[in-house]
Amino acid sequence: MNTLVTLIRRELQEHKVGFIYAPFIVTCVLSLVVISVYFGLTNIQTPEFNFSTKIYENEQALEWMATADIEQITAVMRSGLVVLALPILLTVAFAILAFNLSTFADERKDRTLIFWRSLPVSDLTTVMSKILLVTLIVPLIVLPNIILLHLISLLSASIFFATNDIVPFGWVWSAYSLTDWFRIIFSLWAQSLWSLPLMAWLMFAGAFAKRPIMGALVPIAVVVVLESIVLKTNHIFHFIEDRLGFWTSSLPEQHEEVRVVDVSDIYLMFSTQDFWIGMALSTLLIGGIVYFRSRNNDYSSE
């Protein structure tokens, strides 16, 4: 256990920019934007998205706010907060992508692999520490950022609503559930498990290929093209497409459109065949990473 904690701490020390600083900076920027909007300093208006205090001059909006019940407020607020946190999640997704591709390639390239392997840590433990990092630990690190953004957004909105006599200060707070924090973290963990085959594939490419990006893309491109020519099907392509998307795509159809998921939905994912196919594939890939890492001993001309 101590070994695993040490290995994960080492990864966080090495990748603090991607996993700690970057999400926090994005959170700070988003918070500033939110505060600026509520204080009337800026507006965000795109064809799909409108975030501005002008919306509260709309009579219908004001009436809805005055009459909405707690469930309605909660639903709207959850959707808004999910969208607001997306840039943080995208930042972390990018950091995870870079980590997966580079983590086993870099240690070979800079030859630190020989030092790491000179210590009594098995290859399996090292590989599992990296898998645990991206699936369990990084979501835990991201969560406080999301909570911070939520709280700053709700506080700014409450001040704006109260000072403009729209609704009382406590309007949103009564509808904000602290248990949503659990909903978010479990949803992030579910997402990690859903995308695990892709993450494991990228790590695998880093463990065996001299050029990890090519090693990750070329075999997949070849297999996808061969499948479409020989079998006239696109199962592999759809498999990858699904894993790039939200884990909710694994749910039965009636749940697919649900944007804000409940913890109970995760059980539904566990009951799908797709999920377990992904887990089996991930296990094979993890075995492959361990195999290649244990054979990467190219350190002498003799």
Q: Which residues bind other proteins (CB under 8 A)?
A: 2-3, 5-7, 9-10, 13-14, 110-112, 114-115, 117-122, 297, 299-302
Judged by beta carbon, residue 69 or residue 110, the one nearer other proteins is: 110
The secondary structure element, H or E, covering residue 192 is helix 180-208
CA distance 116 to 108: 11
The nearest distance, CB 264 to other proteins, in angstroms, is: 38
Minimum gap (Å) between residue 16 Cβ and other proteins: 10
Q: Which of 295, 31, 63 is nearest to 157 (CA)?
A: 31
**Least gap, CB of 14 to other proteins (angstroms):** 6
Contact 128, 121 (CB under 8 A): no
Closer residue to other proteins in complex, CB, 238/295: 295
Closer CB to other proteins, 247 or 292, in the complex: 292
Q: Give the shortest CB-129-to-other proteins separation in angstroms.
A: 10
> Which tokens is 152 given?
């700053």
Tell the smallest beta-carbon distance from residue 274 to other proteins (Å): 35
Q: Is 235 exposed, middle or buried (0-12, 13-18, 19+ CB in 10 A)?
A: exposed
One-letter amino acid at 184 equals I
Q: Among residues 3 and 228, whose Cβ is nearest to other proteins? A: 3
Nearer CB in complex with other proteins: 13/273 = 13
Q: Which string of b and e fits 165-180 if b means at least 16 CB within 10 Å?
A: ebbeeebbeebeeeeb
Integer Cα distance of 104 and 286 in angstroms: 12
Q: Based on CB atoms, which residue is closest to other proteins, 124 or 143?
A: 124
Tokens of 268: 């539904």
Nearer to other proteins, 14 or 242 (CB): 14
> Shortest approach of other proteins to residue 133 CB, angstroms?
15
Which of 184, 28, 213 minimizes the C-alpha distance to 102? 213
Please, which residues bridge with residue 51 across strands? 44
In the complex, the smallest distance separating the C-beta of residue 300 from other proteins, rounded to whole angstroms, is: 4
Element (H, E) at 144: helix 138-163
Q: Could you tell me the smallest distance in angstroms from the CB atom of residue 211 to other proteins?
A: 21
Closest to other proteins by CB, 121 vs 137, is: 121
Distance from chain centroid for Cα 185: 10
Q: Which residues fall within 8 angstroms of residue 24, CB to CB, at 6 or more apart?
A: 145
Locate 67 and state its tokens.
Answer: 């009459």
